[in-house]
Amino acid sequence: MVHVSYSSVTEMLDHWKFKKNMRNRIKKSFNLERLFKTHEKYRDLESMVYNNIKKREEKEKKSKK
C-alpha cells in the first residue's frame, strides 16, 4: 500500500499551480482531512497486523530449523 501524507497532497496541489479557489474545491471534493484521519488509523492497524504476521513467520522458520 502506498503511503501519502496530507501535506504531500497539499504540496502537490500547490505544485500544480491551481488557482487558490480551485485548490480548495479539489481539497473539499476529496475531503482529504477526513480521509487521512481514517487512513492513519488503518495504517496503524495494517502495520500491527503485518508485524504480527512477520513475527509468526520468523517463529515458524526457527522451529523448522
Local structure of residue 52 (DSSP, 8 states): H
Euclidean distance between CA atoms 59 and 57, whole angstroms: 5
In a domain, 33, yes or no: yes
Euclidean distance between CA atoms 20 and 42, whole angstroms: 31
In a domain, 1, yes or no: no
- Name the pLDDT band for 13 (thresholds 50, 70, 90): low
- Name the pLDDT band for 61 (thresholds 50, 70, 90): confident
Domains in the chain, number: 1
Kindly state the average pLDDT of the residues 1-30.
66
- Name the pLDDT band for 14 (thresholds 50, 70, 90): low
User: How many CB atoms sit inside 10 A of residue 61's CB?
Assistant: 9
Considering only residues 64 and 55, tell me which one the structure prediction assigns the higher pLDDT. 55
Domain with 26, as residue range(s), is 6-64
